[in-house]
């Protein structure tokens, strides 16, 4: 008979009872732990959770009030709200059993034990434990799924050779659990690729959790990713599961990983190596099982050379690397995407519109520094503003000029505006190459990265 993959903890001061219960339950469950001293409870619970806890009501000789059992019952419930506890009593005190049930006990058994009834009770308790754990997981996952309902993620659209190659790679890596690093400029669709990998993976029935690391401060990083317990810090009014624990069984997408400080990189690397997290304010290890996908618009080798990114972390996240091309290099995909967005926003704003031939020429001449995201926003603006049935060149509101990629600042001589424009022109000229851009500007790569973040380029 196959044993149940459950963990049982038995606490009783009687060595004979411990041996008897252990002998019976080891035939049914894979792991059975026994202790005589209830003071070890907290240490054991910190080291890992138990599916069922059998707890004696009295540990001191000559004492049969059951108060010790009630005390430890409450202490266990503080550590694990979903704990399934079965009380052991030799006295069959119904009032005591009822009181214990009100405090959170699941059931009770009487000495001497009927082995058949004992096993039946434990099996039923184990099913209850599994149900509690599953409900807890579903509640936290549902929260994040609900947050995603309001977001509309576009389908991957592309017939250009370079996009076909990328989709071919996606098809190969998706069924594996390999860590994926996605590279590309802002707005190229890195999250869309991550979601497509998840959709084609063996984890597709589970949750996809996306985290923008660029928006996390140093103080929020651990709480957001690893969770926290009640009272861990000011404002921590209740336990909260972190993104790693919530994503267990599914896919965790960490965007803008190049923005992490060295301190945060070190904490992340530790979790990836150990495969468990420790919530803030707790010393209890929580195992995790996630498919990790990361993304950045930065050149990690340059960051590594400048001691801004850990090389061992890059190797950990970079089993397979996928680089998304900028929209300007995708040729015919520009028109496919334009037609796609035109249909979406035409339906949304109840308008029937087409793009004129001259407007199409203008779309193809443009360099698209904001990539697909810029095209999407521009098409939505055009649909809103155009009353006639044709979108003309003058209806297309580009961020930069067609010929040079220069942004209009209405002849502003503000130093910040001038510096931002200069850096943007240099990046455009060298197609995002950090080394060449920094050399032309006469500044270090570290200074350039700092200014890119400052101006959100």
Alpha carbon distance 186, 124 (integer Å): 53
**Do both 340 and 319 map to the same domain?**
no
In this structure, are 311 and 386 located in the same domain? no
Query: Tokens 């995790």 appear where?
Result: 288
- Residue whose C-alpha is closest to residue 399's, from 373, 423, 419: 373
> What is the DSSP pairing of strand 286-287 with strand 276-277?
antiparallel
Residues 180 and 268 in one domain: yes
Domain-located, residue 299: yes
CATH of the domain at 448: 1.10.10.60
Contacts of 438 (CB under 8 A, 6+ apart): 444, 445, 447, 448
Q: Tell me whether residue 404 is in a domain.
A: no
147 lies in some domain: no
- Decide if 185 is inside a domain: yes
- For residue 91, the domain's CATH number is 3.40.50.2300
Residues 6+ apart with CB under 8 A from 445: 302, 305, 306, 434, 435, 438
Taking alpha carbons only, the member of 332, 390, 310 closest to residue 158 is 332
Mean pLDDT of the residues in the chain: 85
Distance CA 390, CA 357 (A): 10
Question: Inter-axis angle of helices 434-441 and 445-454, to 10 degrees?
Answer: 100
Q: Which domain holds residue 338?
A: 327-395
Q: Is residue 112 part of a domain?
A: yes
- Arithmetic mean of pLDDT, 64-88: 82
pLDDT value at residue 406: 44
Domains in the chain, number:
4
Last residue in a domain, options 290, 307, 323 = 323
Q: What is the CATH number of the domain that holds 339?
A: 1.10.8.60
Span 171-185, mean pLDDT?
A: 96
Q: What is the per-residue pLDDT for 106?
A: 86
Residue 209: name the closest of 154, 250, 181, 265 by CA. Answer: 250
103 and 202 belong to one structural domain? no
Q: Is the pLDDT of residue 152 over 60?
A: no
- Give the DSSP letter string of 185-242: -TTS-HHHHHHHHHHTSTTTTS-EEEEEGGG--HHHHHHHHHEE-TTSSTT--S-EE-
Give the SS3 label for residue 424: helix
* pLDDT at res. 409: 44
- Are 280 and 271 in contact, with CB atoms under 8 Å apart? no
Q: Are residues 82 and 117 in the same domain?
A: yes
Report the percent of the chain where pLDDT is more than 90. Answer: 43
pTM, two decimal places:
0.62
Residue 410 clears pLDDT 50, i.e. is over it: no
Q: Which of 80, 112, 132 is the last residue of a domain?
A: 132
């Amino acid at each position: 008979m196959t044993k149940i993959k459950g963990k049982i903890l038995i606490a009783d001061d009687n060595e004979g009872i411990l041996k008897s219960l252990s002998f019976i339950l080891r035939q049914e469950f894979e792991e059975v732990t026994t202790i005589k001293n209830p003071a070890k409870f907290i240490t054991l619970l910190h080291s890992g959770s138990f599916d069922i806890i059998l707890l004696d009501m009295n540990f001191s000789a000559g004492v049969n009030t059951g108060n010790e059992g009630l005390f430890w019952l409450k202490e266990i419930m503080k550590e694990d709200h979903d704990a399934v506890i079965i009380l052991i009593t030799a006295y069959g005190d119904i009032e005591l059993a009822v009181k214990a049930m009100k405090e959170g006990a699941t059931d009770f058994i009487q000495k001497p034990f009927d082995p058949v009834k004992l096993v039946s009770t434990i099996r039923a308790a184990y099913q209850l434990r599994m149900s509690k754990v599953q409900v807890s997981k579903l509640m936290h996952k549902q929260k994040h799924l609900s947050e995603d309902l309001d977001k509309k993620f576009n389908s991957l659209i592309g017939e250009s050779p370079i996009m076909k190659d990328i989709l071919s790679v996606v098809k190969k890596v998706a069924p594996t659990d390999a860590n994926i690093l996605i590279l590309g400029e802002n707005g190229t669709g890195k999250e869309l690729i991550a979601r497509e990998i998840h959709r084609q993976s063996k984890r597709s029935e589970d949750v996809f959790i996306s985290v923008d690391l660029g928006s996390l401060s140093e103080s929020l990083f651990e709480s957001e990713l690893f969770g926290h317990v009640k009272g861990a810090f000011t404002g921590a009014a209740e336990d909260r599961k972190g993104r790693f624990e919530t994503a267990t069984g599914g896919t965790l997408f960490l965007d803008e990983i190049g923005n992490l400080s060295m301190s945060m990189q070190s904490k992340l690397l530790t979790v990836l190596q150990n495969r468990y997290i420790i919530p803030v304010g707790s010393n209890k290890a929580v195992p995790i099982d996630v498919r990790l996908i990361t993304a950045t618009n930065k050149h990690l080798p340059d960051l590594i050379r400048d001691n801004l990114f850990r090389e061992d972390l890059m190797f950990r996240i970079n089993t397979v690397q996928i680089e998304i091309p900028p929209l300007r290099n995708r040729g015919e995909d520009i028109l496919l995407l334009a037609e796609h967005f035109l249909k979406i926003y035409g339906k949304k704003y109840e308008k029937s519109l087409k793009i004129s031939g001259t407007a199409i020429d203008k779309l193809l001449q443009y360099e698209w520094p904001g990539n697909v995201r810029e095209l999407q926003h521009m098409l939505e603006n055009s649909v809103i503003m155009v009353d006639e049935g044709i979108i003309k060149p003058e209806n297309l509101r580009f961020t930069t000029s067609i010929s040079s990629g220069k942004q209009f600042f209405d002849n502003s001589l503000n130093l910040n505006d001038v510096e931002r424009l200069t850096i943007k022109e240099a990046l455009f000229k060298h197609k995002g190459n950090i080394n060449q851009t920094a050399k032309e500007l006469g500044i270090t790569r570290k200074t350039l990265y700092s200014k890119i973040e400052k101006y959100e380029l």
